[in-house]
């Protein structure tokens, strides 16, 4: 089999869905605001971004990024372990450590690389990594890169995790990896049960708070804070590309060994560090997010409740957990693609989830909301969904 043979099914699959916009290949022509973009010449409501607080256009974030680019230039042109550690990177690490009241923090070039670096930096062939079945690709790839044995436990099932851990000869060689808020289903992890199972087995626990940082917890530190288990988690990982509206990732920990990864984790050592503008923008976004967390979360949850009530009342099957991620279950891939295209045509962007990321009879539109959406925009989203859902027979016609 030649190198290209495995790519040949892709054009055939694209051709099979007929003329029209192609899922996973949308081009945004202009970003008008955190909640509106232009796609195919049309003003489009953004219901598929992870910009949970709309900070991507905050004037203070933009000013910080502009100052940094003028002062330190466009890029660092080097890795953190070479010439790419600026005072701003260290300052951002200190800010994360202070926010979590933990002694150690590391900043990575992307959230994906944070997981690659953590899993492959901590674990090797004599270790075991046990992950929730619905874990993000970066967690699976980090496990592969580490060479550790990989085991999965049933989604959000601490009893199954306990079983998998019991089979391990030595719990202290095991790293358990879960997410605070799962990115597709919008489910929250039962973190206190998971932490207690890990403690009983002597295993370490890493929680990826990519989608939950900022959104949960009294101070906005994530779902481990909200669950009261911050002191029982060994490593908290997060990304800058969602609530912090930038690009990069972080890890905080009470373990001093975290700082040794600066010398040992290949996805950190052998890649360029975050640009001055990125790091400065994220530093400002973090300051705003921590300072205004209560007000930002209040606006976000108000929008989440409003959209969930509207979509449910219209008859849609939506995810059961109240979170900024609201999956709308549509059915077969054909129905999902038809609905996704009709929504775009009607001026609404949502993300589409198709097999193998879901069951073939439970394809979905993954919608996500922001504190920056106005009530009018939320109502428009519900109305567009309702109109399109009725026209395509996904929900019943009006009584
Ligand atoms: N972890 C999770 C759970 C994610 O959902 C994502 C991105 N969607 C990442 C890690 C990777 O983050 P980034 O896009 O910042 O690289």
Q: Which two tokens stand for residue 175?
A: 């790293």
- Which atom, in ligand 1's list, is nearest to the CA of 249? 15
Pocket flag, ligand 1, residue 224 (CB < 6 Å) = no
CA distance 377 to 349: 12
- Which atom, in ligand 1's list, is nearest to the CA of 248? 15
Phi, psi of 54 (to 5 degrees): 65, 25
Pocket flag, ligand 1, residue 241 (CB < 6 Å) = yes
pLDDT tens-place string over residues 243-268: 999 999 999 999 999 999 999 999 99
Residues of the chain with CATH 3.40.640.10: 76-274
- Which atom, in ligand 1's list, is nearest to the CA of 113? 16
Q: In percent, how much of the chain has pLDDT > 70?
A: 100
- Which atom, in ligand 1's list, is nearest to the CA of 241? 15
**Which pLDDT belongs to residue 26?**
95
Residue whose CA is at the smallest distance from ligand 1 atom 15: 111
- Domain 5-56+294-391: give its CATH code: 3.90.1150.10
How much is the average pLDDT of 166-172?
94
**Which pLDDT belongs to residue 67?**
98
- Which atom, in ligand 1's list, is nearest to the CA of 242? 15
Pocket flag, ligand 1, residue 134 (CB < 6 Å) = no
pLDDT tens-place string over residues 58-71: 999 999 999 999 99
Q: Which two tokens stand for residue 72?
A: 């330190």
Interval between CA 111 and ligand 1 midpoint (Å):
5
pLDDT tens-place string over residues 195-243: 999 999 999 999 999 999 999 999 999 999 999 999 999 999 999 999 9
CATH class of domain segment(s) 76-274 = alpha beta
Pocket flag, ligand 1, residue 271 (CB < 6 Å) = no
Pocket flag, ligand 1, residue 136 (CB < 6 Å) = yes
**Which pLDDT belongs to residue 397?**
85
**Which pLDDT belongs to residue 399?**
60
Q: Please determine, for residue 74, whether its predicted confidence score (pLDDT) is greater than 80.
A: yes
Pocket flag, ligand 1, residue 368 (CB < 6 Å) = no
Residues of the chain with CATH 3.90.1150.10: 5-56+294-391
Interval between CA 238 and ligand 1 midpoint (Å):
8
Q: Please determine, for residue 398, whether its predicted confidence score (pLDDT) is greater than 90.
A: no
Pocket flag, ligand 1, residue 109 (CB < 6 Å) = no
Q: Please determine, for residue 377, whether its predicted confidence score (pLDDT) is greater than 80.
A: yes
**Which pLDDT belongs to residue 33?**
97
């Amino acid at each position: 089999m030649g190198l290209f043979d495995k790519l040949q099914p892709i054009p055939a699959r694209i051709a099979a869905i007929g003329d029209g916009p192609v899922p996973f290949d949308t081009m945004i022509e202009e970003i008008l605001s955190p909640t509106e973009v232009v796609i195919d010449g049309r003003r489009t409501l953004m219901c598929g971004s992870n910009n949970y607080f709309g900070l991507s256009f905050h004037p203070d974030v933009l000013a910080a990024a502009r100052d940094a680019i003028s002062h330190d230039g466009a890029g660092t042109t080097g890795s953190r372990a070479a010439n790419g550690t600026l005072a701003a990177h260290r300052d951002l690490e200190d800010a994360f450590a202070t926010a979590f009241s933990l002694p150690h923090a590391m900043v990575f070039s992307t959230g994906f690389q944070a997981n690659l670096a953590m899993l492959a930096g901590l674990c090797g062939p004599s270790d075991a990594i046990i992950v929730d079945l619905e874990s993000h690709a970066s967690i699976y790839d980090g496990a592969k890169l580490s060479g550790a044995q990989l085991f999965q436990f049933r989604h959000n099932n601490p009893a199954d995790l306990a079983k998998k851990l019991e089979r391990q000869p030595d719990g202290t060689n095991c790293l358990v990896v879960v997410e605070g808020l799962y990115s597709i289903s919008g489910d929250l992890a039962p973190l206190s049960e998971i932490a207690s199972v890990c403690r009983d087995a002597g295993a370490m626990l890493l929680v990826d708070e990519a989608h939950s940082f900022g959104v949960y917890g009294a101070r906005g530190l994530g779902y481990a804070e909200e669950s009261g288990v911050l002191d029982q988690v060994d490593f908290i990982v997060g990304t800058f590309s969602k609530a912090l509206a930038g690009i990069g990732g972080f890890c905080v920990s009470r373990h001093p060994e975290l700082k040794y990864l600066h010398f040992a984790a290949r996805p950190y050592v052998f890649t360029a560090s975050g640009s001055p503008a990125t790091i400065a923008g994220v530093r400002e976004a973090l300051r705003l997010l921590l300072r205004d967390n209560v007000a930002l979360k209040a606006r976000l949850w108000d929008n989440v409740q409003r959209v969930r009530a509207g979509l449910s009342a219209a008859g849609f099957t939506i995810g059961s957990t109240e979170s900024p991620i609201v999956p709308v279950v549509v059915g077969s891939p054909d129905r999902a693609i038809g609905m996704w295209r009709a929504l775009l045509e009607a001026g609404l962007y949502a993300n589409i989830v198709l097999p193998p990321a879901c069951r073939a009879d439970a394809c979905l539109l993954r919608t996500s909301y922001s504190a920056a959406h106005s009530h009018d925009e939320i109502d428009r989203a519900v109305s567009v969904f309702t109109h399109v859902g009725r026209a395509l027979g996904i929900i019943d016609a009006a009584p």
